[in-house]
Chain A
Amino acid sequence: MRVVITGTGVVSPVGIGNEAFWSSLASRVCGIGEIKRFHPGAYLGGEVPAAEFARVFDDRRLRRAAEVTKYAFLSAREALVCAGAYQDLFDASRAGIVSGVTHGALEYSCLFHAGVVREGPPGASPALFSDSVLNATAGTLSLAFGIKGPSHSLIGGSPVGLQAIAFAAGLIREKRVELCAATASEVLNQRAVEVYSRMGLVSKARQPSPFTKGAEGFLPGEGAGTIILEVYENATRRGARPLAEIRGWGFSCSGDLAESVATALEKALSSASLGVEDIKVVITGANGGAAGRAEGAALGKILKKGTRVVSIRPSVGEAFGAGAVMDTVAAALSVSRGAMVSDACAPVEETLSEWQWAALKPSGEPSVQDHVLISSTGLLGEAGFIILKRL
């Protein structure tokens, strides 16, 4: 059974919507700047432009929802429209949703808890509580779009975005649903950024440089991505234009990140019936931090010389699970348009990798690559891969 992507949607620091996102990536727009949402001037990161988001977010049903749910909603609506499946154009009981979550609605959790600490039981807000639970986004989206099949929220580090997509594809392969949305969303939160900074994980540079000498951390980011998945035959029968095929995936976790990367990649290649020589392009979640460096070193030992590796983290920041879905959106747009996502990394000769990355080609250059590997690793030693195939 061929599972294909029929719709994508994105909310990112470099643009809201597929077209703005793609255009920014193709022209190396950098969305990193001083974070304005809290403690202005204290932190750098990739922030979704608030004014632009307020302009395009128009659904009053969700006016009280947490920002993380609003981002997800907007990306999911665009993805459904893109798939031609918006508003009752799918069988609700045969549709599902899988949400990848790293931090969830932290801002609501903090507000709720602060109310309890300061005022005791009367300070507990029922609205904040119900919207702060980790599956609030999936529940709200299933309600907003009338999705009545399985609804799951998977929790994890950055690879959870890819896990959500693979899980959704699995539900389709198992014939438990016919259409499934995979989504992930992340919002910059002061407490999270403070903690990561104090743990020494956040870069002090104005732009993180994955795989380069001197890279010493990531810059936080935010946003959301949604992918709509269907069976190829169903999609084409109803006139949808599939963007790419989900060819395979693999995930692994062990005490050693290099081992996790090797095992997960082997699983992904095996499930896609591909060899490592078939992978010519990698969109990686490497963000300038330690996990990305280890990922680069591990991939460098496995992938063939000449493989092109791209990271969009220098443009959008590290949005954890949402970042991995944004990577997949970028990959799907890339293969469907026959063009490469450009990279904002430092010059290739400065790479730390034991393996020589191939020179990156200029933005928007035509690409006839059949497969794109999307790669993600987490701070706790987890690794995940998805392989997209050009249609």
Chain B
Amino acid sequence: MRRRVVVTGWGMTTAHGAGAEVNMQAFMEGRDSIREISAFDVSAYTVKNGGEVPGFEFTAPLKYLKRKRLDRSTLLVLAAFGEALGRAGLESIEGNCVVSLGTTLGGMLTGQAYHKEGLTRGFERARPAAMVDYLAHSQALGLMREHGIKGEALTFSDACASGTNSIGHAFHRVRSGEADVAVAGGYDTMCEFTFAGFNSLQAVTQSLCRPFDRKRDGLVLGEGAGIVILEDLDKALARKARVLGEVIGYGASSDAYHSTRPDPEAKGAASAIKAALDDAGVFAGEIDYINAHGTGTPYNDLMEARAINDVFGGRPVPVSSIKPMIGHLLGAAGAVEAIATLMAIKEGFLPPNINCDDPDPECRIELTRSPGQRSVLKKALSNSFGFGGANATLIFQGHRD
């Protein structure tokens, strides 16, 4: 028998700031937190803006990890996890557990610093000990070590679908009974390596990120982390945990079309959405809101709109992307957007798709553009589509105490 899987804790850090409450308020208001990047010198780049976490510092005491050797990514994960754990009313993660995180970069800032030091001063003088936290699975294992979590560690790197796949897989593990509790989510940092890469692909905008707008011309990068605690419903209720929402469906697919461009016919994206609906055992007509991948690139948004139209048959489901507010968080995107979707269901609001002044008529979707819109949402869906044709969709529903 399938178990029901509920979210009992969430924590997040984004350009809106640290903490779920701060972020939820900003998502409701449609706050624009994109600023000029300060992490590195952007003077030589035509694009200068991004969604950096403002003044991020992780000051909580560490028992086992050495703060000086930790990449910013690990600190973002520790901060989001600590918040999620507290919100779940837990002091530690016990029992049969899986830690499932998504990232595209891991500790790239550390790797970048080592490589830059080696290139400028000679590799014999660069410090190899700092490289331990570079490996992309180091953050999950560091989290487990610091918090005494014992179980299986999984790190997904499925480009922009990483965070969604990490939660989807953890959901399946708990649903099947393979795990009683899961720590799932995603993270990524703002680093020059990625910034230069997306610039070279001409995928970033020089103005505003405007998903589904006729004049959209690219994405804006961001950074952050989002972590959820997933539990078996019965066990969560038995310990009188506060249930924040329920994960009910997950689907994934591949485009097999192009290494960086999505399939314009949207077959892969539609397939992931349909797989998630099948997995949840719900009809498309039951979905009340779609949190779109909505990067603001011409290719992605048109493709995603086609997928939505294919699956929902022209039914006007409210759609929005939160990326114009906080940027594209890459490996963290799916996790943060999943939490935003759960928040929307729980609090009954529609996150606005800001910066879209002139909706693209070719997209033909029901965009939620203005902030402050209230709506009763029973079930909602969150999409993620990444490089390499990786597509993933999660479906959530509300839970009444």
| Residue ranges of A at the interface with B (Cβ–Cβ < 8 Å) | 92-93, 96-97, 101-103, 109-110, 112-114, 116-118, 120-121, 124-126, 129-136, 138-140, 142-143, 145-157, 160, 163, 167, 174, 176, 191, 194-195, 198-199, 251-255, 259, 263, 380-382
Contacts and interface: CB of A to CB of B under 8 A. Distances in A.
B257 interface: yes
Given A116-B193, A120-B44, A121-B44, A148 B252 contact: no
A140 B193 CA distance: 21
B252 A150 contact: yes
B295 to A, nearest CB: 15
A255 B172 CA distance: 26
8 contacts: A102-B135, A113-B193, A135-B386, A150-B253, A152-B252, A155-B137, A252-B150, A253-B151
A43 to B, nearest CB: 13
Interface string B137-160: 110010011001011111111110
Nearest to A116: B196
A167 B178 CA distance: 13
List 7 A-B pairs, minimum CB-CB distance, nearest first: A139-B388, A129-B197, A134-B157, A124-B200, A124-B196, A150-B252, A151-B254
Nearest to B279: A176
B123 A191 contact: yes
Contacts of B207: none
Given A96-B254, A121-B200, A152-B158, 6 more contacts: A134-B136, A151-B253, A152-B156, A156-B154, A191-B115, A253-B153
B68 interface: no
A120 to B, nearest CB: 5
B119 interface: yes
Q: Using C-beta atoms within 8 Å of the partner chain, give the interface range for chain B.
A: 35 or more
Contact of A143 (B103, B201, B389): B389
A134 B151 CA distance: 24
B29 interface: no
Given A154-B156, A160-B137, A199-B128, A148 B106 contact: no
B260 interface: yes
Contacts of B131: 195, 199
A125 B200 contact: yes
Contacts of A153: 156-158
B43 to A, nearest CB: 10
A343 to B, nearest CB: 29
Interface in B269-296: 271, 275
A146 B256 contact: yes
A110 B155 contact: no
B136 to A, nearest CB: 4
B137 A195 contact: no
A296 to B, nearest CB: 21
Contact of B45 (A114, A121, A146, A148): A121
B156 A156 contact: no
Contacts of B156: 152-155
Nearest to A114: B119
B200 A129 contact: yes
Contacts of B386: 135
B104 interface: yes
A199 B129 CA distance: 7
A174 B199 contact: no
Contacts of A138: 158, 388, 390
B57 to A, nearest CB: 26
Contacts of A117: 115-116, 119-120
Nearest to B257: A143
A291 B255 CA distance: 39
B150 A253 contact: yes
Contact of A254 (B106, B150, B389): B150
Interface in B104-143: 104, 106, 111-112, 114-116, 118-120, 123, 128-129, 131, 135-138, 141
Contacts of B141: 253, 380-382
B192 interface: yes
B154 A121 contact: no
A124 B199 contact: yes
B112 A148 contact: no
A194 to B, nearest CB: 6
Contacts of B157: 101, 133-135, 153-155
A376 to B, nearest CB: 13
A163 B154 contact: yes
Given A142-B256, A151-B254, A155-B155, A134 B197 contact: no
Interface string B157-173: 11100000100000010
Contact of A151 (B112, B119, B196, B389): B389
B271 A135 contact: no
B138 A380 contact: yes
Contact of B193 (A112, A120, A382): A112
A135 B390 contact: yes
B299 interface: no
A188 to B, nearest CB: 16
Nearest to B267: A148
B259 interface: yes
B152 A251 contact: yes
A259 B112 CA distance: 34
B192 to A, nearest CB: 7
Nearest to A106: B111
A113 B112 contact: yes
Given A102-B135, A135-B157, A143-B389, A150 B254 contact: yes
A110 B131 CA distance: 14
A163 B388 CA distance: 21
A143 B256 CA distance: 4
B66 interface: no
B152 A252 contact: yes
Interface string B199-215: 11110000000000000
Contacts of A121: 44-46, 196, 199-200
